[in-house]
A = this chain, B = another copy of it.
Amino acid sequence: MPNSADDLPAVVTGGAGAIGSALVQSLLGRGRTVRVIDNLSGGRREHLPAGPGAARLSLTVADIREPATYAEAFRGAGEVWHLAANPDIRLGTRDPRVDLEHGTIATFNVLETARRFDVRRVLFSSSSAVYGLPTVFPTPETYGPLYPQSQYGASKLAAEGLCSAFAHSYGLTTYLFRFANIVGPGMTHAVIYDLLKKLQADPSRLEVLGDGRQAKSYLWVDDCVEGMHVAKERASAPVNLFNLGTEGQTSVREIAERVTRAMGGRAQIVYTGGTRGWVGDIPLQLLATDRIRALGWTPKFTSSEAVDRTIAVTREELGL
Q: Which residues of A come within 8 Å of B, CB atoms?
A: 92-93, 96-97, 100, 104-105, 108, 112, 130, 132, 141-151, 153-155, 157-158, 160-162, 164-166, 168-169, 238-239, 241, 279-280
Contacts and interface: CB of A to CB of B under 8 A. Distances in A.
A261 to B, nearest CB: 35
Nearest to A93: B169
A169 B282 CA distance: 12
Contacts of A144: 141-146
A143 B149 CA distance: 19
18 contacts: A92-B169, A93-B169, A100-B162, A105-B105, A143-B144, A147-B164, A147-B239, A148-B161, A148-B165, A148-B168, A149-B164, A149-B169, A150-B165, A150-B169, A151-B165, A153-B165, A154-B158, A157-B157
Given A151-B162, A158-B161, 7 more contacts: A96-B165, A132-B164, A144-B146, A151-B169, A157-B158, A157-B161, A168-B280
A102 to B, nearest CB: 13
A108 B100 contact: yes
Contacts of A100: 104-105, 108, 162
Given A154-B164, A161-B153, A161-B157, A279 B169 contact: yes
A115 to B, nearest CB: 8
B145 A142 contact: yes
Contacts of A238: 147
Given A104-B104, A108-B96, A154-B161, A241 B168 contact: no
A154 B124 CA distance: 15
Contacts of A112: 96-97
A153 B161 CA distance: 8
A273 B67 CA distance: 38
Nearest to A108: B100
Give the one of A96, A100, A154 with max B CB within 10 A: A154
A234 to B, nearest CB: 19
Given A96-B108, A169-B149, A169-B280, A154 B143 contact: no
A166 B144 CA distance: 18
Contacts of A168: 132, 147-150, 279-280
A252 to B, nearest CB: 20
Given A96-B108, A104-B104, A108-B96, A146 B169 contact: no
Nearest to A159: B158
A115 B290 CA distance: 40
Contact of A154 (B132, B146, B153, B162): B162
A207 to B, nearest CB: 23
A138 to B, nearest CB: 15
Nearest to A174: B147
A168 B155 CA distance: 14
